Chain A
């Protein structure tokens, strides 16, 4: 099936088996293996990418459903010699160990900070119409769709606070 995707600013025309997930399109057909497959069932967040600015589990959606969409993957967020502030903070705060959940964490956190900036409440936000503060509790809650078996959670929270300029 013909699908047109803009990935990290570059247009791609793909002719894919309709059963191909967005994740497998990236990993198997475009060589973009930064997005990870942890479960293939929408249960771990390792495959998180941004589609039209919003974070989604790319294993849980078919590539052909995204004809014309803009996809941002970890490769589009920053490169080893040109890391985004969030990526840099993950390095300095040791927000990972094995690194396998990490691209998903970073894509998720990038979009999550936007969600807070746009005033979206979460389960732990006190007032639905007040703007959410970037507290540890808010970050932990909003990042709980991204599992980390190495359990870098405290450092992930610190990295996000640091990058968001939240300070201590």
Chain B
């Protein structure tokens, strides 16, 4: 029987606080760590499969026209080549996260440069690569399509618009105001493991060993793309070498491998080459954001405006949700927000770590810094004065919000009181500045299922098709089950990443831990009830610890109570009324110290601190690591990351890791992170919220605000490269 749980009311019982094992929240090591550090964790393209052939994908050299494979027959005769495939079902671009159906398909017309339009399969990787490079691809009848979002046709996103009060009047009568445009370039998730799939058919049944974040959706997307029933598809992704949004939806290599394996009658591996990751997975849309702030003499906001222009390919509905946190972070009675979507022939735009807030909060936080400077008050104080009592648009309460505490505690930890005046501090050739920014990200609960088995020997097994993309899922699900069932961490096995297991929320939108974690929690509650029943009592009176149950002053080992039986519970979590009843979000604050070279404009981040509140922390070690990751993405966004598009044809000019500059070790100081104690009863019965993306939601602004403090230069066009800084100095 399935245990159903719908999150319709706040979970004020806080049951986890009553548990005795002491696992939840503890900074435990990842259980899969020994496999990862010894190279024995198996990623997608590493399964040892008999008779494996290799496929290499081929790109379109332009963004329109009919695709012609001029020498396909000659290539098909090359050494070792098994097939040259341009099947109608190849994907034009990856599916968006949670799409649950195939994206636009068809390799015969190019929509963007770098689109993957064919796969060449050969006995060996070397043969396939050579043959793929030898394939001559031309485009017939194409014309240059628009690639520049500032001049392309635009579709207003009216459903996203807001007009509350009178922002124009508020701006006119404001004692202080800011009206500025910020631009951010496209970013690539570019996880260290390139997208890869090994497809194996047994009759009509397909097994795909892939690298995906959301298996239950990916399975339906793959089945839909191939035109087969989802029951015929199994996806395995026990280890995923990073995703950051780029592996949310089915990507071209999975379909190519599946079609190829069927056609050549052997298992086929297809891995994207690094340039293909940059050219044909997902980009974060570039943005142009106008932020308007109106304030009274004391810095209380009277108006807030945020208008954004983003872009995507024709036919794609995703529009980077820039305004998400602007709706609820700050007060201001008069509000106007709008979104426009430009249609451009660049690679598909989709989710990259914290879609929306990563760039939206960043622009807003730059504008807040400008306002604080204009008024002449401390930027932290400006934020404190504008924390609204209720959601400024809906009037709803916030679920839990330790925003003020994050600002205060972060300022204290960083030593913000020592902030220099603008252009005031210099150490030799270096100009020193401090900057800060707020962090905010919406919190979401998603449907999720898990099965928990309490085995006769008193061990437990957790099974779900949830993924661990570096987020710590193996660790936290084991901790939750161990806590609820009173088992040491190593008495719980966690099995993930297999669509044969109960379908989970998947990893994305920061909802994975709380959603899949809640399903495990609910299953364990049901096991506790059954144990109590066996003992003739109530679950509430049962204490489980170290493999034993204490009830009515008697302690007995679980194995004895089970008496050879096992208890299996499948739990099914569904979000409910609490999602809409209140405003749920996570909050925090970043503080950064930079040194800007007086002669070159080079910026080094010297120190950076984040204080975050995200409900109950499930594992202090992995949660902190998530924040380190987010903040580091913020450093990259602030200083170096930018997909450079050729303005003529949309070619990604820097499609590799040598030219698309993610932060390296030497770019990142020893970041510090503080996780504030919090319980959010509205979020889920564990009172936990998502933390995987909070670390990037405004982080870049702390750095560019620090650059201003150091140099007096406002860089409003990201990234703040040397040329832009030096131009203002």
Contacts and interface: CB of A to CB of B under 8 A. Distances in A.
Nearest to B695: A151
A31 to B, nearest CB: 6
Contact of B628 (A74, A106, A141, A155): A155
A27 B125 CA distance: 11
A36 B45 CA distance: 10
B198 to A, nearest CB: 12
Contact of A99 (B470, B621, B633): B470
Contacts of B670: 136, 154, 157-158
B656 A43 contact: yes
Given A37-B271, A151-B632, A100 B241 contact: yes
B74 interface: no
B663 interface: yes
B342 interface: no
A52 interface: no
Interface residues of B, number: 65
Nearest to B190: A149
Nearest to A35: B39
A91 B656 contact: no
Contact of B244 (A43, A106, A149, A155): A149
Contact of A150 (B34, B192, B621): B192
Contact of A151 (B46, B124, B130, B629): B629
Given A152-B629, A155-B628, A144 B192 contact: no
Contact of B658 (A28, A41, A154, A155): A41
B493 to A, nearest CB: 15
A35 to B, nearest CB: 7
Contacts of B727: none
Nearest to A29: B124
A99 to B, nearest CB: 3
Contacts of A91: 29-30, 33-34, 37
Contacts of B193: 36, 38, 98, 100
Interface string B646-689: 00000000001110001111111111000000000000000000
Contact of B671 (A81, A140, A154): A154
Interface in B16-51: 29-30, 32-43, 45-46, 48
A43 B193 CA distance: 13
A44 interface: yes
Given A41-B658, A152-B629, A94 B37 contact: no
Contacts of A28: 124-125
A4 B334 CA distance: 74
B75 interface: no
A40 interface: yes
Contacts of A40: 273-274
B666 A99 contact: no
A96 B46 CA distance: 19
Contacts of A75: 38-40
A94 B625 contact: yes
Contacts of B243: 98
B192 A154 contact: no
B611 interface: no
A131 interface: no
Contacts of A37: 45, 194, 271
A91 B36 CA distance: 9
A97 interface: yes
Interface string A130-164: 00000010011101111111111111111000000
Given A28-B125, A43-B656, A157-B670, A97 B29 contact: no
Nearest to B624: A94
Contacts of B621: 94
Contacts of B125: 24, 28
A106 to B, nearest CB: 6
A92 interface: yes
B126 A17 contact: yes
Nearest to B631: A151
Nearest to A99: B36
Interface in B151-200: 189-194
A33 B130 contact: no
A102 B40 CA distance: 11
Contacts of A146: 665
A97 B471 contact: yes
B93 interface: no
Contact of A98 (B127, B242, B666): B242
A46 B192 contact: yes
Nearest to A75: B39
A75 B271 CA distance: 23
A94 B46 CA distance: 23
B469 interface: yes
Contact of B38 (A34, A43, A95): A34
Given A41-B656, A140-B665, A143-B665, A83 B192 contact: no
A136 B194 CA distance: 30
B35 A80 contact: yes
Considering residues A46, A80, A106, A150, which has the most beta carbons from chain B within 10 angstroms of its beta carbon? A150
Nearest to A24: B125
Contact of B657 (A43, A73, A77, A100): A43
A148 B273 CA distance: 18
B40 A80 contact: yes
Interface string B384-409: 00000000000000000000000000
A101 interface: yes
Interface string B625-644: 11011011100000000000
Closest 9 CB pairs of A and B: A34-B39, A100-B241, A99-B36, A98-B470, A97-B470, A151-B632, A74-B39, A33-B46, A91-B33
11 contacts: A33-B43, A36-B192, A37-B271, A87-B34, A91-B37, A94-B30, A97-B471, A99-B32, A143-B665, A149-B192, A151-B628
Given A33-B46, A99-B241, 5 more contacts: A19-B129, A39-B656, A99-B36, A102-B37, A155-B625
